[in-house]
Every structure is written in C-alpha cells, then in structure tokens.
Structure 1
Amino acid sequence: MEQDRQNEQLPQEKSHFFSTRFIRFLGGKNLLFLLIITLLAGCIIFIFDKISFIFQPFLVLLEVVILPGVLGVILYYLLRPFLRILMRWKVPRVWGILLIFLGLIGVITLLILLVVPFLKNQFTNLLHEFPIYFMSLIDSVISFINNSRINEYLATANIDYNLVLENITDDLTKTVKDTATNLASGVANGVTGVVTTLTGIVLSLVIVPFILFYLLWEGEKMPKFILRLFPPRMRAFVDDVMEDMDNQISSYIQGQILVSICIGIMVTIGFLIIKLPYALLLGTLAMVTSVVPYLGPVIAITPALIIAIVTSPFMVVKVGVVWTVVQLIEGKFISPQIMGKSLSIHPITIIFVLLTFGSLFGVPGVILGIPVYALIKVFVQHFYMLFKERYNKFQTNTADQYEDIQ
C-alpha cells in the first residue's frame, strides 16, 4: 500500500510525440537530430552546387599540385627507409638527403642510357609487327573453325563467319585509321593546347625534386605540427589516426613497388627461358601493370598470349606455365612476406574499388584507388571506435531490468 501511495505521489511524465513506442524504437530524439543533420547537409550541397564557380580557382590549383604532390609522396615513402638507415649510421640528415638524390640521379641515368633505348626499339618493332600478329591470330581462328564441328553448327544457323571476321577486321582497321586521322587533325588544330599540357607536365616533374626534398627534410615534423592544431584532449586520438594512416600508406607503396619489381623480373626470366619474343618488354609491362592489383596481371598477359598463339600452340602452354608459376610464387611467398596483412582488404572489395575509382577518375583513380580507400577505412574505423566509446559511456546499464525475468 505504501509503495502504491508513493507511486501516486510521484509526478507523472507527460506523454509526447517522442515517447511513443514506434518513435522510441526508431531512436526518439536522435531520429530528429539525424533528419535535421541530413537536411542541412543536403542544403549545403545544393548551395555549393549553385556557387561552384567560386571554387574554380581552387580546382585549378588542385589540378596543378596533384601530380607533383602524388609523385613526391610516393618517392618520399620509397626513400624514407634509406634516409632512416643513413641517419642510424650517424649521417646528418642534409648529407643523407644529398646522397639519396645522387643515388636516384645515378639510377635514372643508367635506366635512360642502358634500358630505355632497348625497350624503345622493342616497343617500336612490336607496334610494326602487331598487325601481323593480329591477322595471324584471325587466320588461326578461321583455320580452327574450318577444322572443327563449329563450322557445321554455323552452317546450320546460316552464319557466315568469314564475313563476320572480315567485317570485324575492316571495322577495326577503319577505327584505327579514323583515330589516327582525328588525332593528327586534333594535334594540328590544337598545337597550343598540346604545348600547354606538355609544359604543365614538365613543370610538374621539375617541382617534384623540391617537394621530395622538403618532405624528406620536414616530413617527420609534420605530424607534430598537425597535432598542435587540435585541442589537447583530442591529440592522442589524432596521433593514433595519423600513425595508422602513415603505416598503411607506407606499407602499401613500398610493398606494392617491391612486389611489382619481383613480378617483372620473374616474368622476364621466364619468357627468356621459353624464348618468347619481346621478353624484356613484356616483363617491363608486367612490372608496371602489377602496381594495380588483380586487374594489372590481366592487362599484362594479353599481348603475351597473342604473341604466343601466333608463334605456336605449344608456346601458349609455356606462357601459361610461366604465368602460373609467377602468380603462385607471388601469391604464396612474395606478397605475404613483403605486404603481409597490413591493408586487410578483401579481394572483392579491391576489385570494386578499382572499378569505381577507375570510372570516376580514369587511370589515376585506378592507381590511387586502393591507398585512398585504405586511408578512408582507417579514418572510419577510428571514428567508429570513438563513437562506440562515447555511446557506451552514456549508455545506461539495463542488465538490472532483466534480473527478474531470468
């Protein structure tokens, strides 16, 4: 009785819209806050879309800075381990940077003098001979169809495959000629645009050494400078985020470059062993395209297969064996040792990321899609953990409510 009287004396809470079961199930006032934030975000996006011309100078600045900035960052992460080794050997930072620059200039000079001319000759010869390879491939397909049962099925279906292949060849030849003509006329009509583009690329490449020098000189101090911009209570969290991002980018760039070099060397050696034409060029192509995971090897193997098919059927088998061995060694031994599980990204996710970024930003998006996704993933993971800690901090302990039921 006394308990009932006390309950009657307590002030009864007024029922309102947010106290209904359905609204409480959806989140109560949190739902209202979420709707307001979504509405404000939509208004901001709409307003920015209407005044996008204001940001045009910033977009131009970004386009000018993005190429040398990305190249500088990639070279910084590749050369930073060497600088740290030199500093461990008591070499001053300035002298270490100068030694690294001298070594880099020496490597580039050797490549230009020794490797590039040979690759240029092979590439030129391949361009001249590729139409012959392609026509030989068409003839091989026709011969295969004539000597198989497919010819009977095509005859039953009234399909003239000779006409189909002839139309495909004519269309391809016409497309190549039209492309060459349009390209020539475009170059002739837009010499100023071509010169401007080349000038921008040259200036970007000239700026790269200066960006690289200052990154090697001040790169270790940058996180401390960024931390000072945040309140003291947030600095530990921000420091963890930046350290994780740095590890992700460093592991990916260094690991992917090393893996690509190993693939290029193994493919070149394998193609030399089986005496496939243009082995060095195809190995270099495999090394360059392997920077893009999963999609790169598919691009690299295509010209090798075309050359092998035209050479001999047994050469196709040998190319397949070489490629299989290279992929097995890379997947089972090289990548686990060099890359480890630093990114922890599922292969399906990588493929979707590459396709999405490639559709949005083209070739640069394919190259930079994985590291950008890794940065976004680190950022989201840390903020999700911060949200969980904050939510658990203010979450009331509801275990006592179910003691009677248990």
Structure 2
Amino acid sequence: MQFNSTQKRALAWCLIAAFTAVVIWLLAPVLTPFVVAAVLAYALTPVVDWLDDLGRGRIPRLLAVIVVELLFILVVLSVVLLIVPILVKELPLMSEQVPVLMEGLNTSLKPFLAQFGIKFSLDVGSLKAFALKYLSTNFEEALGSVMTSLKLGGSVAFAIFGNAVMIPVVLFYLLMDWRRFVAQALEFVPPRGRATYDSFSSEADAVLGQYLRGQLLVMGVLAIFYSAGLALFGLDLALPIGIFTGLAVFVPYVGFGLGLILATLAGLLEFAATGGPSKALMMVAVVYGSGQFFESFLLTPRLVGERIGLHPLAVIFALLAFGQLLGFVGVLIALPASAVLLVAMRRARTRYLSSKLYQG
C-alpha cells in the first residue's frame, strides 16, 4: 500500500502525538509540578508583561517576576490562613453539638422506624465518648496520629512537600523565560506551516484567555455569594466554606459537591441544639440551590460558556477522561486542553465541510 506525501505527514504526526501521550501518561506524577507551574505561568505572564510595559524598561523583568509570584503566594497563603484558624476555633463547638445531634437523631428515628417494625437504637453514650475523644480541644492524640500516618505514608508526604517547593521554583523560571520557551517551540514548526500555526495559536490563546478571565470572575462572584448566603442563615463557618466553594468551582461539579457536603455537615452540627436538621437542610437547599441556578444559567454561560462554546456534557466527559488518564494533572488541564481541542475540531470541521469528500 502506497502513501502520498500528505498521508505520510499525517501518519507521522499521529505517531508523534501517540508517543507524546504515552510519555505524558507514564510521567504524570513527575510532571505534576511542571504542569501546574505551566498553567500558572500562562495565566500570570500577562501580569508580568504589564509590569514590564508599565515600567517602560526601567523595571527589570526579574523584579516584576518576583513581585507577581510573591503576590500570588500571598493570596494562596491568605486563603489557607483564613480557613485554618476558623476551623480550629469551631472544633470545641463541634465537640459539644455532635452529642446533641446524636440524641436528636436517636429520638426522631426510633419512633419513626418503630412504625415499620424496625427496632433502632443508637448507643448514644459510646458515640458521645467517641466524639468527645476525637473532637476535643486536646490535639495531642490527633497530632500523634497525623505524625504516624506521615511516617507510614512518607512517600505521599514527601510528594506533597516536594510539589509545594517545586511549583514556585518552576514557576519562577517559566515566568522569566516564557517568551524564549515559546520561541523555541515555534522553531519545530515547518516554515510552510507557520501561518496555519500562528492562526491556530492565536485563536487558542484567545479562547484560553477568555476562559481564565471568565472563570476567575465566576469564582470571585460565587465566593461572595455563598459566604453571604450562609452568613445570613447564621452559620459560623460561612466565610471559609463560602470561599472554598467559590474557589473550588474551578473544577466544575466536583467543587460544588464538596462545598455542599461541607455546608451540610457544618449546618447539622451547628444547628443541632437550636434549629435542628431542618434549618441546616433549608439553608443548604436555599443557598446552594440558588447558587447553582445563578452559576449555571447566568454566570457560567455569560462569562465562560459563551466564550468557549463547551457543552456541559463535554465538560463532564473531559473531566472524567483526563482524570482517568492523568489523575490530578488531568483534572487540572481538562478544561484548558478541551478548549484547545475545540479550536482544532472547529477548524477540522470547517475544512471537512469545504472539502471534495463532503461535497461529493
């Protein structure tokens, strides 16, 4: 079977793509800090360039990179430092309310299940002792168990620590030399394909830029919305849970689900002695129901969806497929990669519809 030059080029590119995919799949754990840093560098490079332009050459790029990266690290640390103290403050309250919640659960379920001939009884005394032991303000045993788990899973702890150190280092070098890396990658493109590559990369860059800007706006608005909504119901953990839910929507559906679970558990514990489970369930239904409606039908379609053109089913499939293939790295790059693939599919569709094969 003979292949013409076009078919040979297509076959060569398919083999290169398959080889690259296999290498990425095999090296996924090692590539995690580099992929995370590359995504951050892509998002932060315009800010560094803006500082460069603002200084009109008087500000060294090194200084601009250091300022931008330090500001980004401060934002991440501020979120962590905002959540941790509030959670620590609420643990004693949880230790008091868990037994009350268990008493109420036992009192309400026992007569209800008795109607169906089911005997149900919680050993409230043992559950109280368990809750008081593990939710008390004495963290010595908890700290010991954490240290033991770190010793047993030393590789996991080392990987987390290593990524926390590697990501800022890799991000620094990428921000410093981003233009040079892009220029070196461009050298692999044949001269006759430069026009097509430039057109494709410009369109993909526009789509990715719109996605990042739109997603940041959605995250900020939802963080304020969920924090305010939970606070109106009197939830003490409204601020950290609201901020977490808003920021976690960067991973669609997964972030919303985690925030919903956290708010439900916090509400059940906090309102156990006052409003009971009904107040917690009403809070979650109203805040998260309206929040999901607000996000799905107003924010995401206008700020993200209309700009990218990804259908919700395509988003779900992309998250599952990339997550299955590449784990955390796959989930991280699922939507940006899907946006680039969408550009490629649009162009392939346009070429097919204008080809002789389609027109007969």
- CA RMSD in angstroms comes to 4.4
SS of residue in 2 equivalent to 1:256: helix
State the match for 1:294 in structure 2: 253
* Structure having greater relative contact order (Cα 8 Å, sep ≥ 6): 2
SS of residue in 1 equivalent to 2:308: coil
- Output the amino acid matched with 1:375: V
Deviations 1:114-151 (A, max 9, x none): 66444212233456665766665554443333354x53
| Cα distance change of structure 1 residues 199 and 325 upon mapping to structure 2, 3 Å threshold | closer
| Cα distance change of structure 1 residues 316 and 197 upon mapping to structure 2, 3 Å threshold | closer
1:260–1:288 contact (8 Å) kept in structure 2? yes
Gaps of 5+ in 1: 1-28, 397-406
SS of residue in 1 equivalent to 2:121: helix
Q: Distance in 1 between matches of 2:144 and 2:54?
A: 59
| Cα distance change of structure 1 residues 349 and 103 upon mapping to structure 2, 3 Å threshold | closer
Q: Distance in 2 between matches of 1:345 and 1:93?
A: 42
Q: Distance in 2 between matches of 1:197 and 1:260?
A: 25
1:68–1:205 contact (8 Å) kept in structure 2? no
State the match for 1:68 in structure 2: 34
Length-normalised TM-score, structure 2 = 0.71
Q: Distance in 2 between matches of 1:314 and 1:237?
A: 59
Question: Among the aligned pairs, what percent are the same residue?
Answer: 21
When the two structures are aligned, how many residues end up with a matched partner?
A: 331
1:227–1:239 contact (8 Å) kept in structure 2? no
2:48–2:61 contact (8 Å) kept in structure 1? yes
In our comparison, the structure showing a higher alpha carbon Rg is 1
2:44–2:68 contact (8 Å) kept in structure 1? no
Correspondence 1:133-172 to 2 at 5 A: 136-148=100-112, 150-153=113-116, 155=117, 159-162=118-121
Length-normalised TM-score, structure 1 = 0.64
Alpha-carbon distance, 1:255 to partner? 1.8
Query: Residue 202 of structure 1 is aligned with which of 162, 165, 168?
Result: 165
SS of residue in 2 equivalent to 1:162: coil
Correspondence 1:6-405 to 2 at 5 A: 59-60=26-27, 63-80=29-46, 82-83=47-48, 85=50, 91-92=56-57, 95=60, 98-99=63-64, 101-102=66-67, 104-106=69-71, 108-109=73-74, 112=77, 116-126=80-90, 136-148=100-112, 150-153=113-116, 155=117, 159-162=118-121, 185=148, 187-189=150-152, 191=154, 194-195=157-158, 198-199=161-162, 201-215=164-178, 217-218=179-180, 222=182, 226=185, 228-310=187-269, 311=271, 312=275, 313-392=278-357
Of 375-384 and 205-214, deviating more is 375-384
Q: Distance in 2 between matches of 1:359 and 1:182?
A: 31
Alpha-carbon distance, 1:339 to partner? 2.1
| Cα distance change of structure 1 residues 188 and 374 upon mapping to structure 2, 3 Å threshold | same
- Output the amino acid matched with 2:34: P
